[in-house]
Amino acid sequence: MKSGDKVRLKTNHGVVEPPIFRVLIPDSGMQLFVITNSISVRAPTNRPGFTIHRDFDRLCPIFTIVEDNYKHKGMRRKLLETLRQKGIQDEAVLQALWDVPRHWFLDRAFEELAYEDKAFPIDKDQSISQPYTVARMTELLDVKKHQKVLEIGTGSGYQAAILHQLGARVFTVERQRVLYQKSKAFLKELGYSRIRCFYKDGMTGLDTYAPFDRIIVTAAAETVPQPLLDQLAPGGILVVPVGSDVQEMLRIIRVDETTFKNEVFGQYRFVPFLGGLDAG
Ligand code: SAH
């Protein structure tokens, strides 16, 4: 089988309108797109020995099937309306939230909750931030295409995907090994393979790739770690929630080598920014 090959697919869902399903084959770099009742194969190379099961249901346990159907899109449209009402104005940010289906980043059982404007628990007692918070922080970050952006706290990978969708070159670090491994693999499967994931303590930033045009911290910092300020390029922007119980959203602009300008934008609640790695 090679790139562009078409195969007939028998499905229990009858004739479906394109593009209903994207079938992702872990670690192969291949994606199958279901188009009406056939699937077309996009593959970088031939994969001898690779066979496709014609029975769609038998595909399910083998491959990750991510679906973005009219129900999801309807819920997402409503969420975007809510975000507009709450004051999100940046059209590029809203478009990115439209383009990245949030329900892919939550357990399948919680699909419906993915489009409520709420934070949601993920593995290891962490959480995927509330959509409003993701939108607001991204707006404050003012990301431009091709900029180098560092995210501290990969978590589910959702915020990283939003930054990637805005055209940024994304570097994201996570201190929880389980989350790092899971999100790294999942982002690759979803096709966000240019997002660079690191298992690292974000307190020290990511000096080998510094300086960064933008830095976003998605956990609550008691104080702003000096390495993050050092790794910000002149003209760069750092967005970080600072405080213990409740945090203030701080935007720091590095005006030049030695001058930093701080602004505060409302109160939020994040999981704590912790030092050291967690291999559990
Ligand atoms: N951006 C994430 C939200 C994750 S919650 C998303 O879109 O889903 C915050 C994350 O920050 C958690 O996964 C937590 O493990 C991580 N974190 C906390 N302290 C950290 C540190 N010092 N270095 C790297 N990641 C850290």
201 lines ligand 1 (CB under 6 A): yes
Q: pLDDT (tens digit, 9 = 90+) per residue, 231-259? A: 999 999 999 999 999 999 999 999 999 99
Phi, psi of 37 (to 5 degrees): -110, 30
Pick the residue whose CA is nearest to atom 23 on ligand 1: 202
Decide which of 10 and 120 is more confident: 120
Answer yes or no: are the C-beta atoms of 221 and 240 closer than 8 Å. yes
CA torsion, ordered 182, 183, 186, 190, to nearest 10 deg: 180
CA angle 60, 29, 9 (to 5 degrees): 40
Q: How far is the CA of 219 from the centre of ligand 1 (A)?
A: 6
Q: Mean pLDDT highest for which of 7-16, 102-111, 159-168?
A: 159-168
CA distance 27 to 42: 14
Per the listing, tokens 């192969």 go with 28
**For residue 203, what are its two tokens?**
């307190």
- Helices and strands (H and E) in the chain: how many: 7, 14
Pick the residue whose CA is nearest to atom 16 on ligand 1: 153
The pairs formed by 27-35 with CB atoms below 8 angstroms and a separation of 24 or more are 27/185, 27/188, 29/193, 31/191, 32/63, 34/9
Residue 66: pLDDT band with limits 50, 70, 90: low
Task: Record the pTM.
Answer: 0.81
Among 207, 218, 226, which residue has the most ligand 1 atoms within 8 Å of its CB, making it the best to mutate? 218
User: Residue 54: its pLDDT value, please?
Assistant: 39
**What number of other Cβ atoms are within 10 A of residue 109's Cβ?**
7
Distance of alpha carbon 268 from its chain centroid, rounded?
A: 20
Pick the residue whose CA is nearest to atom 18 on ligand 1: 273
- Given a cut of 60, whether residue 9 has pLDDT beyond it is no
**What number of other Cβ atoms are within 10 A of residue 74's Cβ?**
11
Q: How far is the CA of 253 from the centre of ligand 1 (A)?
A: 22
Q: How far is the CA of 155 from the centre of ligand 1 (A)?
A: 5
Residue 122: pLDDT band with limits 50, 70, 90: confident
Tell which atom from ligand 1 comes closest to the C-alpha of 127.
5
User: Residue 47: its pLDDT value, please?
Assistant: 38
66 lines ligand 1 (CB under 6 A): no
Answer yes or no: are the C-beta atoms of 212 and 237 closer than 8 Å. no
The residue-averaged pLDDT of 3-8 equals: 41
The residue ranges of every structural domain in the chain are 6-67, 119-268
Among 152, 183, 186, 200, which residue has the most ligand 1 atoms within 8 Å of its CB, making it the best to mutate? 152
User: Is the peptide bond preceding residue 272 cis, with omega within 30 degrees of 0?
Assistant: no
CA distance 120 to 129: 7
128 lines ligand 1 (CB under 6 A): yes
Residue 277: pLDDT band with limits 50, 70, 90: very high
176 lines ligand 1 (CB under 6 A): yes
Pick the residue whose CA is nearest to atom 11 on ligand 1: 153
Query: Which residue is catalytic, options 3, 38, 40, 129?
Result: 129
158 lines ligand 1 (CB under 6 A): yes
CATH class assigned to 119-268: alpha beta
Catalytic residue flag (residue 129): yes
Among 175, 178, 216, which residue has the most ligand 1 atoms within 8 Å of its CB, making it the best to mutate? 175
Phi, psi of 91 (to 5 degrees): -65, -35
Q: What is the CA radius of gyration of the chain?
A: 20
